Amino acid sequence: MTIKYLKDVSVDGKKVLLRVDYNVPYDKQMSITDDTRITATVPTIQHCIDRKATIILVSHLGRPKGKPVPEMSLKPVARKLTEVLKREVKFIETPLGEKLKAEIDALPAGSIVLLENIRFYPGEEKNDKELGKQLASLCDVYVDDAFAAAHRGHSSNDAITQYVKECAAGFLLQDEIEYFKKAMEKPERPLGAIIGGAKVSSKLEALNNIIPKVNFIIIGGGMAFTFLKAKGMEVGKSILEEELVGTAKDIMKNAESKGVELLLPVDVVIAKAFENESPRQVVPVDKIPADSIGLDIGPESVKLFSKKIKSAKTVIWNGPMGAFEMPNFAAGTNQIAETIANSALLSIVGGGDSVTAVNQAGVSEKISYISTGGGAFLELLEGKKLPAIVALDK
């Protein structure tokens, strides 16, 4: 790839259109409940501030389907960003067009503005070239720092690059690219992947893509029961994709043929109902009662997985080990997070649930890199090229 990074581009005194991903959660009072995606862009913004650039921030929020939705306004984000940066971030509601361009051109050098939700425009998700051209007319330099949206080719991260001479990846996007390269292209081995979550179907492409690249794969979460079923075990009322049992067998055979160790749980925490207060019991994976649900990996599985993780030099984690959103079934996920955090290895965690898990376990500061992208991170694991990154590759 020949992507330019922000450090390679001059933004001194220029107008910089910075595509960020401020698709952040709100509560009923319209207060932001998690500002991780906002604070993650601060280094890129500060770099531009230090060089007296005028910064035009562009983001989406939610799925307004091409029309204004007041509840999806980015106005609260401008307020939050003003707090974070300790300097004014002006919120601009003026629609794209000559009036907005004149407003931008009249800004004092060094101003920071946030435009209204770009998905209020029907052309955004259609990757409309005219919309991309309108955005491009506002700036001298385009910088993309929105990895979490990189798997979508839209006007604000794809079409725009055709009309701006100088395009670059911001520091956040640079880290996402470079850390993934370290893990999957030239890793320090042994390289392990920990894949969890509810369903095999959502991780099928990722599993098939990483098998030739890793030394071992640990499988946990609800998806493990499809693999256990493929090994001839009964899984009770646990999550099961019956139609993928044959596929799970093929994945295990493929891993074996390539010398990749595939580890499954050896015991699980079961309950009669998918409820936090439901009485728990630990059983071997071949002893799951017909009326019970597997909701977490058991202590012996934690020991098995932890020993393997400690033997690695590089680990990628995507997906929890169980129903960790319920405190009584979070132990397995929390303990795996702690093992990764306390091991001498390069650790990369991606996917919304996995990121929540390391935060919940209180070990996020000990993880080498936490990806800001859910779908984008998974598509990289699947071996796909992300449209927004391809667009920067001049």
pTM: 0.91
* Alpha-carbon distance values, 97 to 104, 138, 291 (Å): 11, 10, 62
CATH assignment of 6-174? 3.40.50.1260
- Which one of the listed residues 14, 15, 37, 80 is annotated catalytic? 37
Residue 119 appears among annotated catalytic residues: no
**pLDDT value at position 34?**
83
Q: pLDDT tens for residues 233-252? A: 999 999 999 999 999 999 99
Amino acid at 364: S
Helices and strands (DSSP H and E) totals, the chain: 14, 15
**pLDDT tier at 25 (50, 70, 90 boundaries)?**
confident
Cβ atoms within 10 Å of 326's Cβ, excluding its own: 16
pLDDT above 90 for 351: no
What does the block give as tokens for 154?
Answer: 């839209």
Query: What mean pLDDT comes out for the span 120-142?
Result: 98
Please list the helix, strand and coil fractions of the chain in percent, rounded to the nearest 5, in that order.
Answer: 40, 15, 45
Q: What is the pLDDT of residues 31-81, one digit of tens each?
A: 888 888 999 999 999 999 999 999 999 999 999 999 999 999 999 999 999
pLDDT over 80 at 24, yes or no: yes
The tokens for 95 are 């629609």
| Domains 6-174 and 187-381 are alike in CATH topology | yes
**How much of the chain, in percent, has pLDDT values that exceed 90?**
92
**3-class SS of residue 326:** coil
Per the rule left: phi > 0, alpha: psi between -120 and 50, beta: everything else, 65 is left
Evaluate whether 109 touches 52 at the Cβ level (below 8 Å). Answer: yes
Q: How many C-beta neighbours within 10 Å does residue 196 have?
A: 27
Mean pLDDT, rounded, for 296-310: 98
Residue 37 a catalytic site member: yes
**What pLDDT is recorded for position 26?**
81
Identified catalytic residue from 352, 366, 374, 384: 352
> Would you say residue 372 has pLDDT above 90?
no
* pLDDT class of 264 with cuts at 50, 70, 90: very high
Q: Please give the structure tokens belonging to residue 50.
A: 């230090």
So what's the pLDDT on residue 352?
A: 72
Domain coordinates in residue numbering, the chain: 6-174, 187-381
Annotation marks residue 352 as catalytic: yes
**Is the separation of the CB atoms in 368 and 346 below 8 Å?**
yes
Cα dist from 390 to 23, 47, 242, 258, whole Å:
22, 24, 37, 31
Query: Average per-residue pLDDT in the chain?
Result: 95
392 is written with which tokens? Answer: 């920067």
pLDDT tens, residue by residue, 318-328: 999 999 999 99
| Predicted pLDDT of residue 381 | 93
**Which amino acid type is present at position 393?**
D
Q: Is the per-residue pLDDT at 309 higher than 80?
A: yes
Q: Give the tens place of pLDDT for each residue, 141-180.
A: 999 999 999 999 999 999 999 999 999 999 999 999 999 9
**pLDDT, tens digit (0-9, with 9 covering 90-100), for 184-198:** 988 999 999 999 999
For residue 51, indicate whether it is catalytic. Answer: no
> Which tokens go with 345?
């290895």
Q: Which of 79, 199, 272, 313 is catalytic?
A: 199
Rounded to 5 degrees, what are φ and ψ at 225? -70, -30
pLDDT top residue among 135 and 26 = 135
Domain 187-381 CATH superfamily: Phosphoglycerate kinase, N-terminal domain (3.40.50.1260)
Reported as a pLDDT band with limits 50, 70 and 90, residue 29 is confident
What pLDDT score does 1 carry? Answer: 65
